Amino acid sequence: MTTLRPFTCDDMFRFNFVNLDPLTETYGLTFYLQYMAHWPEYFQLTEAPGGEIMGYIMGKAEGHATNWHGHVTALSVAPDYRRLGLAAKLMFGLEEISEKKQAYFVDLFVRVSNTVAINMYKNLGYIIYRTVLEYYSGSPDEDAYDMRKSLSRDVDKLSVVPLTHPVRPEDIE
């Protein structure tokens, strides 16, 4: 049982089930508020019958011409609410909005080591479009996969023809 609804400011006071997980970063207020101000429809959460926040997705629409696309900035589900298909539900919502905005594709970045997430995205129809070298800083830096799924506007599926060579972070549009 899930309520899918837009993320609001007050939710930040109670998103700790999701954000205390070490793989989920808590950002400064501006980060969340700017997403809410700019792309409120792309910031959605799922709530349990008892009101607990189970997970949320943050995204945006960006790019020009055939690069106009939806982007997943953050997707996180609280550990106790995994294996319920919530991430898929949130992703589906974001794809639907991107369809409505007539985007050509949806993309996201994921650590190459995060096999659980990579497999989940593959099951949702995403392909590894390219590798971005040393995208995540740390010691050592880690590469990212730029994963994509084309939307109906990209009739010829040109957005999901994988690149053969990796790119540097500064080369990403």
Partner 1 sequence: MVSKMATKMKPVDNSVNERRLRPIYDWLDNGNNKKALQEAEKVLKKQPNLQCARVLKALAMVRLGKSEEAQTILQDVQLEEPCEDATLQAMAICYRETHRPELTCHIYEAAVRKDPLNEEFLSHLFMGYVRIGDYRKQQLTAMALFKVKPKNPYYFWAVMSILMQAYVNDDTTVCLTITLPLAERMIKKFVEEKKIEAEAEVQLYLMVLEKQKKYQEALQVLQGSLSEKLANGMIENKKGEYLRQMKRWDQMLDYTEELLRSNPDQWSHYSLYMEALFELTSTTNADVIGRAKTFLLSLMEQERLKSENKLRGPYLAMLFFWQQLQQRNFDASTVFGNFREFAQEYVEVMGDKPCAFQDLRPFVGSLPPDQVNEFLGCVTQSVGLDQSSPQSPTTFLFFFQVKQICRHLLHIQLNRFLGQHDLLSKEEKIELSQKLWGHYLRTKSLNAGLLATDFRPNDGYALLAAHLLLDTWNNDPVVLDKCLLLLETALANSPANYHLKLLVTRVYTLAGHGRAAFQRYESLDVKYIQLDSLGHLLCRPLISMGLPYTASPLLSNTLRFYTTHARETSECLISAYKFGSFGKIPEFTQFCQRLDSSAHFASSTTERMLLDLLLDGSSHAKLVQSAAGMFADPDKDQPDWKTCVDNRDCGVFVSWDPPAK
Q: Does 119 contact partner 1 by CB under 8 A?
A: no
Reading the block at residue 33, the tokens are 């508020």
**Number of residues lying near partner 1 (CB under 8 A):** 49
Q: Does 74 contact partner 1 by CB under 8 A?
A: no
**What would the DSSP string read from start to end of 91-129?**
HHHHHHHHHHTT-SEEEEEEETT-HHHHHHHHHTT-EEE
Q: Does 12 contact partner 1 by CB under 8 A?
A: yes
- Minimal distance, residue 58 CB to partner 1, in Å: 14
Q: Which of 30, 123, 137, 139 binds partner 1 (CB under 8 A)?
A: 30
Q: Does 33 contact partner 1 by CB under 8 A?
A: yes
Q: Which of 66, 67, 92, 100 binds partner 1 (CB under 8 A)?
A: 100
- Minimal distance, residue 86 CB to partner 1, in Å: 10
Q: Does 85 contact partner 1 by CB under 8 A?
A: yes
**C-beta pairs of 108-116 under 8 Å, 24+ apart in sequence:** 108/71, 108/72, 108/75, 108/146, 108/147, 109/135, 109/144, 109/145, 109/146, 109/147, 110/144, 110/145, 110/147, 111/136, 111/142, 111/143, 111/144, 111/145, 112/142, 112/143, 112/144, 112/145, 113/142
In degrees and rounded to multiples of 5, residue 34 shows phi and psi of -65, -40
Q: Does 152 contact partner 1 by CB under 8 A?
A: no
Taking CB under 8 A as the binding criterion, the range among 17-25, 122-130, 135-143, 153-161 that sits at the site for partner 1 is 17-25
Interface residues with partner 1 (CB under 8 A) are 1-6, 8-10, 12-14, 16-17, 19-23, 26-30, 33-34, 36-38, 40-41, 47-52, 54, 79-85, 93, 96-97, 100
